Every structure is written in structure tokens, then in C-alpha cells.
Amino acid sequence: KMAAAASELVTGWCLFGLALLAILVFSWVYVRKYQSRRESEVVSTITAIFALAVALISSALLPVDIFLVSYMKNQNGTFKEWADANVSRQIEDTVLYGYYTLYSIILFCVFLWIPFVYFYYEEKEEDDGNTCLQVKTALKYTLGFIAVCVVLLLIGAFVPLDIPNKKNSTEWEKVKLLFEEFGSSHGLTALSFSISSLTVIGMLAAITYTAYGMSALPLNLIKGTTSAAYERLENTEDIEEVEQNLFRIKSKCRDGRPLSSKDRWTLHQLEEKLRTLRRRERHLESIEKSWWTKFCEALRPLKV
């Protein structure tokens, strides 16, 4: 029985491991594809990949939970021979600890780590000097998110509890009973309420976005997108404008006079912009010659 149980568990967790690997790869590709190449930071990139992966892993744990429970039963609903009370309890406890861990990490990311990273790099853009001051300022703004998390945990810990009303009980006994009930649930109600609050916010955003998307999709299909040739023309005009500005600034130092600090900073920005525009020109040229662009042009009547 133990060998069969171990075999079934290994099968379930191997599937979960493959899903975990696929989620990590997807999160890395997704973040790297849509992030800004010029303004990306290592810590913010890792934070985005990690947070997205944790959210998707939490969603993937639910079908794994269902798979493990259904795998312990036969088609008629009875438990298999190897799935005795101890084995089923171990599986349930393992999945429950997985929920606890992932939900706790989500709360940590939403209310502490992500706000801190965001505010830290906001301060870094405004002041490139004192790192300690940037950390202190980021922590100060992050305290607001921590306060919201604490409020949600307290509400989830005490409000939903069904406390018996005893006429002769003192206020201290009522408070003591609250903490006893909270301890017996191991914080499950508090954690569930906090995650459910975040889920409601995400659900409202999904409903709003889906409602807009269903109406905007046919309009966007009819309107179409800008062709790669037209974008290349606009990009060429931008390159010519930047080159003219570069020539104007460089002409100031032809007689040997040094450029001012403002002109040097502007020159550096223009050179960086020119390199970006030339990379974009090469990218648009490859898009214009690709087979996918020609295929989309052939599908244009079907879109309309």
C-alpha cells in the first residue's frame, strides 16, 4: 500500500513540477518581452517574474489538489486500497501547507515587496545620491500598504467568527474566546479573507476589462494597425530630426570651445535615442519582410 501511495504521490507532484517549470519559463518570457529595454532594472525584473510566477502557481495548485483527491478514489467514489486515513490526511496536509505558503508569499509581495521596489526606484529616478535615504523613503511609503494588510488580517481573523453570547461572561472572557477561536483555525480565516479581498479586486478588473474588450475587439479589427512601411517612414523622419539636433550641438565646439554640462547631457541623450531609433529601423525592416506580415495582409478582408 505504501509503495502504491508513494507512486501515486510521485505522479501527482511530477505533474505539478512540470507545470511549475512551464510557469517559470512563461513568466520569464512574458516579462522580458514587454519590459522596457532602456529603463529595466535587475531587481524589478526579478520581482515581476517572481510575483507573476507565484500568482500562476497558486492557480495551478487547485487542479493539482483536485487531481490528488480524485486519484485516491475509484470510479464508484470509494477510496482505493492504498489511500487509507493516514495517507489521505498526509496528502491533504501537504496541499494545505502549499496553500498557506503560496498565499502568504502573495500577501508579502502585494503589500511589502512590490510596493517597496516600486517606491525605491521612483526615488532613485528623482535622486541618484544617498541609497540609505532612498530605502528610508521607500519604507515610509510602504508602511501604508502594510497597514492595509494588517487591517485585512484583523478583519478576517475576528469578524467572521460565530462567538456564543453568554450573559454572565465578562469582556475579558469574550476577548480570550476570540483569540482561542483564532488560534484553533491557525489563521486560516484571516489568510482566506485577505486573499479573497484581493481576488474580488482582480475579478472586478477582469469584468471591466472583458466588457471593454468585447466591444473594442471588432472595432480594432476593422480599424486595423499601422503598417510596418508607414512606421519605418515615421522612424526615418525621427532619425533625421535627431541627427540635425546632434549636428547643431556639435557645431558649437568646432572652434575648440568645450560644451556646457547641459549640452553634454543633451548630446548623450540624443545619441542614445539615435541608437534606439536605428535598432527600431532594423526591427521594422525585418518585420516588413517577414512571412507573418504578408499573411496578416492576406487576412485583412476577413478581419473587416
Distance CA 116, CA 139 (A): 6
Name the 3-class secondary structure at 300.
helix
The three cell numbers locating residue 124: 532613485
Distance CA 199, CA 20 (A): 21
Residue, of 75 and 183, whose pLDDT is higher: 75
Element (H, E) at 268: helix 261-289
Q: What is the pLDDT of residues 162-194, one digit of tens each?
A: 555 555 556 666 666 665 665 555 567 778 888
Q: Contact, 197 vs 152, CB < 8 A?
A: yes
Name the 3-class secondary structure at 79.
strand
Q: What is the pLDDT of residues 119-131, one digit of tens each?
A: 888 877 665 567 7
Residue whose grid cell is 474580488: 200
Across residues 223-242, what is the average pLDDT? 87
Across residues 136-149, what is the average pLDDT? 89
The three cell numbers locating residue 109: 509581495
Residue 92 pLDDT exceeds 90: no
What pLDDT is recorded for position 73? 72
What pLDDT is recorded for position 28? 94
Q: Specify the pTM.
A: 0.62
What pLDDT is recorded for position 84? 64
Q: What is the pLDDT of residues 32-68, one digit of tens each?
A: 888 877 677 888 899 999 999 999 998 888 887 887 7
Q: Look up residue 228 and give its amino acid.
A: A
Across residues 253-277, what is the average pLDDT? 81
Q: Contact, 244 vs 273, CB < 8 A?
A: no
